[in-house]
Structure 1
Amino acid sequence: MPIKLERKHACPFTLVPLLIALGFVLFKLYTASKVTNPETGRTARVGLNPEQEQKLGLEAYAQVKKDEAAKIVLTGPEIDLVKRVTNKLAKAAAEKAIVNYNWEVSVIQSHEKNAFCLPGGKIVVYTGIIPVARNEAGLATVLGHEMAHATSRHGAERLFRSEIIKTILGGAQQSLAQMDPNQRQTIMGALGAGAKYGATLPFSREQESEADHIGLLYMARAGYDPKEAIGFWQRMDELLGKGSPSEFMSDHPSHGTRISQLKAWMPEAEKEFTQYHSRAPAA
């Protein structure tokens, strides 16, 4: 009587690609540079050196100036205001900065209420944010925050983390290559959502909070009353609060969270503010 051998189905999942990806991730983590933030003490891993990071920032800055050439403000009270505040903050940042930047700022005529600082210290300010700032201290809140992203090397850290997540997800996708396409799509969708809401967005909020903290210290160290930062974010909350997504789904902390954190950091900032006035020459 012939013996019937039971046919085994090939497993639709193989660990090999995922293990290779995890091995690459471990190698990246081992070889990455560690940088410790002198203001907060937080240690981060980055894959770019400061020169590479600044090169990327310069290229992006050149592109912004090219795209917005017709709107760049060259003279007048707005550019004078922004440069004055930037210069004060740059001196404050230099006291503890691990990388010294050649700060440069461009002001763009626009109703957009925004500003950003690229790696390497290249700053772009849209005039729409100036009325919301109301005064130099309000503007120092915005610029201090953006400059803190640069001095903390958040761009390089974010790029490194993004590469790690992409590598892991890529390994997972290869491991599921033999699986039914619909089932594979469902699993990868769940993994992608988990990475976004469990890693990417919380990490982005962590960076934003750190920039708030350091920016508060910069403005106080530059002689601006740090309590003005609370008023600025309250105004932003009134302008944007109702249309903002929940904090869980956002890459920024909610304005309420920001204000609570600023109040917690205020004693530290007020100490910097007091020290500034103690060493400032008498009028």
Structure 2
Amino acid sequence: MRNDPFGQSGGQAPRRRGVGLGSLRWLILLGFLVYGGCYYFTNRTEDPYTGETVLIDGSIGPDEERAMGLQAYQEILSQERPLPKSDPTTQQVAAIAQRLIAKVPEVTAELAAEHGMAAPEHWRQFEWDVNVIPSDQANAFCLPGGKMAVYTGLIPVAQTEDAMAVVMGHEIAHALLRHGAQRMSQQKLAQIGQMAGAASGMDPQQQQMVMAAMGYGYLLPYARTHETQADEVGLMLAAAACYDPQQSIGLWERMSQSSGGEAPPEFASTHPNPGTRIQTLQSLMPKAMEYRQKFCR
């Protein structure tokens, strides 16, 4: 029998090769991509406050959000002791919060109606609380469930109750818009992408480059969108609560000055730069004044 020059006998059929390592990696990568796509498209929902389609994991309900918010709040207050509730500064900040919270039902219904949607009800289960924390930080927050804090470093930057109301309205808006749940869902999608990169055989440097591209191209712009949404909803809350929305312009000018120009460029930041923010607020001013005229009673 004649021998094949490549080592096969003349009368034998060539042996079939199994799935190679490269093919297997591509199949695994395809599986992760399909999973990521299914996760994204099956967990999208319309936000009544903005009318936009957002990503919220169906397994993260308002109850889970509130529980996580409460846990985080308790941890923060155990590490950063707030001023007593009887402190005049705390009472002043609490009074601003009460005025803003009182307008949540009307502003929520109005914004939802603008997008032809029913008003969301998740905020009705919030157990609102506000504390003032001694700190040089010019900052404030509102966690899911309505747990709020203002750092004393914000007071000299805000200067007026109107400006403070704009900041606090912005923070309340983050909780109303369920931005915490959106961020967690976004992080899960990023993790799926990271696992896909590892399964495809990318080396650590390549994975890092892909994640950096995802950060600059998707995650950071998404975070800046959250800030812009909170600016709008918060401004409407402040205006409805009889505060002057025009004070927001001076506020962000002072915020810019207080940072000393140390903020990163906008494309590398989770927040719009103050100039962009001021332009957005100026464009929203006619609407804010309408809300003030309609709901300030």
For residues 143-154 of structure 1, the aligned pairs below 5 Å read 143-154=168-179
Are 1:114 and 2:139 counterparts?
A: yes
What count of residue pairs does the alignment treat as equivalent? 269
Counterpart among 270, 285, 297 of residue 251 in structure 1: 270
Q: Counterpart of 1:155?
A: 180
Query: Partner of 2:103: helix, strand, or coil?
Result: helix
Q: Closer, same or farther in 2 for the Cα pair 1:191/1:133, shift >3 Å?
A: same
Are 1:58 and 2:76 counterparts?
A: no
Offset of residue 51 of structure 1: 0.7
Are 1:239 and 2:258 counterparts?
A: yes
CA–CA distance in 2 between the matches of 1:255 and 1:152?
A: 22
CA–CA distance in 2 between the matches of 1:252 and 1:54?
A: 24
For residues 1-283 of structure 1, the aligned pairs below 5 Å read 3-4=5-6, 11=22, 14-32=25-43, 34-38=45-49, 40-47=50-57, 48-69=60-81, 71-95=82-106, 96=108, 98=120, 99=122, 100=124, 101-176=126-201, 184-277=203-296, 280=297
Contact preservation (8 Å) 1:213, 1:265: yes
Query: 1:175 is aligned with what amino acid?
Result: S
CA–CA distance in 1 between the matches of 2:48 and 2:62?
A: 14
Highest Rg: 1 or 2? 2
Contact preservation (8 Å) 2:224, 2:270: yes
CA–CA distance in 1 between the matches of 2:28 and 2:155?
A: 51
Q: TM-score, normalised by structure 2?
A: 0.85
Q: Closer, same or farther in 2 for the Cα pair 1:191/1:87, shift >3 Å?
A: same
Q: Closer, same or farther in 2 for the Cα pair 1:10/1:27, shift >3 Å?
A: closer
Query: 1:268 is aligned with what amino acid?
Result: K
User: What percent of counterpart residues are identical?
Assistant: 35
Query: 1:202 is aligned with what amino acid?
Result: P
CA–CA distance in 2 between the matches of 1:154 and 1:185?
A: 30
Contact preservation (8 Å) 1:73, 1:109: no
CA–CA distance in 1 between the matches of 2:160 and 2:279?
A: 22
Offset of residue 119 of structure 1: 1.0
Structure 2: 5+ residue stretches without partners? 8-16, 109-118
Contact preservation (8 Å) 2:170, 2:231: yes
Q: Closer, same or farther in 2 for the Cα pair 1:58/1:33, shift >3 Å?
A: farther
Query: 2:179 is aligned with what amino acid?
Result: H
CA–CA distance in 2 between the matches of 1:72 and 1:33?
A: 41
Offset of residue 13 of structure 1: 7.6
